[in-house]
Amino acid sequence: MQIIWKVIILFLIIFNFRIPILYNSVFLVMLLTTAQYLFVRKSIPFTLFFLRYNAIILIATLLMSFVALFITVAHGEFSTLLLRRFLVMFQMLFTLIYVLPVLIKDEAKAFEEVSCLVCYAFALQGLIHITGYLVPEVGDFLFEMQPVNIQAKVDDPSNNLDRFRLYALCGSIFFELPAAYGVASILFFRLQLKDGQKYITGLKSYIVCFLLIAGITLSGRTGFVGFFIGLFFYFLFRLGQISTILKNSWKIALAAILLVGVFYFILPSNTRNSLTEEVFPFAFEAYYNYVDEGRASTASSDVLRLHYYPLAMRTWLVGEGVVADESRYGFSDAGYMNDLIFGGIPFFICLLIYQCLYFNRPLSIARKNKDPDSRIDYFCFLFLFAYIFVLNYKSTSLGTLHIVEVLYLFAGNSYIMRHNYKEDQEIIS
């Protein structure tokens, strides 16, 4: 029962969806956990706010909001997009730190426990998304929970956006949700590399993996980038056990047969047609294009090169104070272009430093420890760090994706807490 409560709390924070009257789910978490602290624990813990890692990131997030405000005002503009993103992110990061005593009970296994909670939260999101897709009444309800402007954007045929992408309980649907699925996938494969872990094994691991893939399929193919990074990460450290993996391949084959059976004999014909004509062509567009045209590409990847164009030297140096589509250059979805157009190289360096704050301490701890498990942890954080730069090529990501940054803080925090606990135990012994 306790793990269900933890998953719900984490779900409410990271997906931060709208709730009537209460504004958003993060505010609901603050109310719920404050009540738990006051009536169960009889005190409100604030010590984790003074942990150096947490304090630096919170202060840096506020500083980045001031930097964004300063840049736009210095240019005589008043673009509030990035300012609002940093302030919302501060709210989510603050809330996560506030509820950490609820989410992490065993500091000795904090990192494993956090990875497990993240996987379960995204598996739950995947289950909700599947339910919304299969049950029209649930899908309509989830659709209506999205802002009116987002609904109108999807309903406009000229935007060529699939309605089923909104069948998730999340405040940031289009790029951020699938991007965050990639982080969850990397943590899932890290957990599978943990010898003796009893969190997500056996049948549970197959169910969670299926729900992660289903969530990515319905929300956006960006998440597959993180999934395949996680898969590569897994095989990188399991090459010596390839025979064991092959011995267990029958389980994967059996799972595939069961899925095919469900697809052809249980799902209604209209649902099967929708999957084959809408969902699969959207999620696996690169594969379809490879079969049809001999090249693994998507419409978004083909047009992305048009989002990179020459910039004036002044823009490189100081930016324009606005995002690309508000500037004289015109629309660009590319993250690196938006960063440079907004604040030039200085702003990009600020974003780079800010992003490094999430990984500097965990990477340093993992590098100093010489045991094989720490080496795997080091590569886990290294892949997570590299992932955000890959995402930034597609869309604005570096230091600004709410869900991703919250997951980074959660993972980094748990790793530091586990390290500090072990150090304390060594001193005591």
Q: pLDDT tens digits for 338-364?
A: 999 999 999 999 999 999 999 999 999
**Domain annotation covers residue 228:** yes
**Which of the two residues, 212 and 301, has the higher pLDDT score?**
212
What is the mean pLDDT of the segment spanning 107-135? 93
**Domain annotation covers residue 125:** yes
247: pLDDT strictly greater than 60: no
427: pLDDT strictly greater than 70: no
The torsion defined by the Cα of 180, 89, 173 and 156, in degrees rounded to 10, comes to: -150
110: pLDDT strictly greater than 60: yes
242: pLDDT strictly greater than 80: no
What is the mean pLDDT of the segment spanning 99-127? 93
36-76: pLDDT as tens digits = 999 888 888 888 899 999 999 999 999 999 999 999 999 88
278-287, 369-378, 408-417, range with the lowest pLDDT:
278-287
pTM for the model? 0.92
What is the mean pLDDT of the segment spanning 174-186? 94
What is the mean pLDDT of the segment spanning 227-243? 83
Give the pLDDT score at 364.
95
**Domain annotation covers residue 288:** no
Helix, strand, coil shares, percent, the chain, to 5: 80, 0, 20
Give the pLDDT score at 199.
79
The neighbour count for residue 378, using CB atoms within 10 Å, is 18
For residue 404, what are the β-bridge partners? Answer: none
223-232, 249-258, 266-275, 347-356, range with the lowest pLDDT:
249-258
The closest alpha carbon to 32, from 4, 12, 3, 54, belongs to 12
Confidence of residue 407 (pLDDT cuts 50, 70, 90): very high
- Contacts of residue 237, Cβ cutoff 8 Å, sequence gap at least 6: 193, 376, 379
The closest alpha carbon to 279, from 215, 206, 231, 333, belongs to 215
Confidence of residue 255 (pLDDT cuts 50, 70, 90): low
The closest alpha carbon to 114, from 202, 182, 187, belongs to 187
CA–CA separation, 272 vs 190, rounded Å? 34
**Which of the two residues, 296 and 27, has the higher pLDDT score?**
27
Query: Mean pLDDT across the chain, nearest whole number?
Result: 86
**Domain annotation covers residue 271:** no
**Domain annotation covers residue 148:** yes
What is the mean pLDDT of the segment spanning 390-395? 92
Give the pLDDT score at 288.
61
The closest alpha carbon to 347, from 65, 77, 85, 88, belongs to 65
Identity of the amino acid at 253: A
CA 71 to chain centre: 27
Residue 415: domain span:
2-266+298-428
**Domain annotation covers residue 289:** no
Based on the structure, what is the number of domains in the chain? 1
Confidence of residue 304 (pLDDT cuts 50, 70, 90): confident
**Domain annotation covers residue 276:** no
**Domain annotation covers residue 282:** no
8 A C-beta contact, residue 130 and residue 214: yes
